[in-house]
Amino acid sequence: MQTQITCPNCGTPYMADVYQIIDVGRQPQLKEMLLSGQLNFAVCPNCGAGGRIATPLLYHDPAHDIFMVHVPPEMNLDQVRREEIVGQLVQQVVNQTPPEKRRGYMFNPQTMLTMQSFMEKVWGTEGVTPEMLARQQRQVDLLRRMATASPDVQEILLKENVRDIDETFFSILRAQIEATSQMSDANQVVGLLNLQAKLMTETEIGRKLEKQQMALHALNRDAKKAGGLSPELLAQHIIANEEDESLVTTLALTGRAAMTYDFFTKLTDEAEKRQKAGDTAGAEHLGHVRDQLLEIQREMQEATQQVLKAAQDVLDDILKADNLDEAVNANMGRIDDLFMHVLEARQAHAEQSGRHEESEKLRHIQEIIISQMQSDTPPEVQLLTQLVSAANKQEREQIIQSAPGLVSDELVEVIDMLREQASSAGQTELGDRLSEVRAELKAKLALAGSH
Ligand SMILES: [Zn+2]
């Protein structure tokens, strides 16, 4: 819900989204937001000061039987008021859960006294232990100290904490650079970039990561030049880096679509060539690399099978239900792109095999899901999705005309945000489309303003 907040720094009042119920079965994206620290985090539009909004939280994760509440002590609520709020939140969750999915624990939520214990429990469902969290907190603190320290002090901090500087540390640093550049604080960004460059050369893990980045960059560059990554090209790059096991794995994971029969044949050919040339050790080594990659491929295939199986199970559950709408609703949290893919494939197969009744039922399930997704999506985002996927300017024109109330400066701001996201994710095509849409909307707004 939208709530008015007053900035503690500059006093500006502004509206922010506040979530009090995180029902993972229904809205798994809220869990992601919570874990990444974005949930109930407000940033003042005037001065940029940001912080967590203190609000009561109810967390429900049906897959892990977790039903817990946290009421921040800083809200200074008395016992009676606290119980009242918790009661209301519980009631809401119970009401939105279909009767057959309600469970006994829903009437007795676990109370978490601190946000820390609350978060530890959520991280626990991701296999992250309190020890791992403590280490990460240490790393965040270390980064904060290093970012503002003089070169001498940085050197000392580096020597003292070299064991805490691992891949996670580098990913925290990268995230920090990204966040800071969005707030357009140039000085701070430069400081962080310098720190990153220093750590890249002065630590073993940094040198390893840099080598990895360069190898991936070379692979992408060659693939782009050749118009795509072929099995031959992937084999060449793997052979060129065969001495570095983790690099081989990284390249294979990046280019896994090119790990075909041809790819493995290329490795075998090269090993045989070495054997003939009398390089027995080289042939053996490459044979070993090939076996390892086969093993990685097998593991990836197994993992794919498992998620496919899970999606099929969900579909079977829904098909068995008496009420399709309710069944889809109860499973919304488990419906993703892969599920839709499975659904389409099964529907096409039923159609081809002449099982019309089943095919119709599957088509109906598809319709329910799509209308459910659309009703969950804010109208602005629906409009933008339509605009971005429109075939041409004319079609966009029609879409804009059909929703005159939504064309506003706020919509342009949403586009700007999405453009930034697209550009930092390297999605240039989406970025270009958004720029096109933005220009057209701006023209529309200018026209409306001149009347
Ligand atoms: Zn402010």
Q: Are 32 and 123 in a shared domain? A: yes
Q: What is the mean pLDDT of residues 138-146?
A: 93
**70 three-state secondary structure:** strand
Name the pLDDT band for 376 (thresholds 50, 70, 90). Answer: low
Name the pLDDT band for 377 (thresholds 50, 70, 90). Answer: low
Tokens of 270: 């090269």
Compute, in angstroms, the gap from residue 42 CA to the centroid of ligand 1. 10
Q: Are 7 and 89 in a shared domain? A: yes
Q: Which helix (H) or strand (E) covers residue 61, if one does?
A: strand 57-61
Compute, in angstroms, the gap from residue 93 CA to the centroid of ligand 1. 34
Compute, in angstroms, the gap from residue 50 CA to the centroid of ligand 1. 8
pLDDT (tens digit per residue) in 88-116: 998 888 888 888 788 888 878 899 989 98
Overall number of domains in the chain: 5
Compute, in angstroms, the gap from residue 181 CA to the centroid of ligand 1. 19
Structure confidence at residue 59 (pLDDT): 97
Q: Are 399 and 436 in a shared domain? A: yes
- Start-to-end CA distance of the chain, whole Å, equals 35
Q: Which helix (H) or strand (E) covers residue 284, if one does?
A: helix 280-320
Compute, in angstroms, the gap from residue 157 CA to the centroid of ligand 1. 33
Compute, in angstroms, the gap from residue 13 CA to the centroid of ligand 1. 8
Tokens of 221: 């560059």
pLDDT above 70: residue 402: yes
Q: Which domain holds residue 359?
A: 321-376
Q: What is the mean pLDDT of residues 26-51?
A: 86
Q: Are 76 and 176 in a shared domain? A: no
Compute, in angstroms, the gap from residue 14 CA to the centroid of ligand 1. 9
Task: Give me the residue label for tokens 């020890």.
Answer: 131
Q: Are 384 and 421 in contact (CB under 8 A)?
A: no
Residue 57 is assigned to a structural domain of this protein = yes
Structure confidence at residue 416 (pLDDT): 82
Whether pTM > 0.75 for this model: the answer is no
Q: Which helix (H) or strand (E) covers residue 443, if one does?
A: helix 428-450
pLDDT above 80: residue 423: no
Structure confidence at residue 184 (pLDDT): 62
Q: What is the mean pLDDT of residues 319-345?
A: 87
Tokens of 35: 């874990």
pLDDT (tens digit per residue) in 217-257: 999 999 999 999 999 999 999 999 999 888 999 899 889 88
Residue where a domain stops, chosen among 128, 147, 175: 128
Compute, in angstroms, the gap from residue 52 CA to the centroid of ligand 1. 14
Q: Are 148 and 124 in a shared domain? A: no
Q: Are 9 and 118 in a shared domain? A: yes
Compute, in angstroms, the gap from residue 411 CA to the centroid of ligand 1. 23
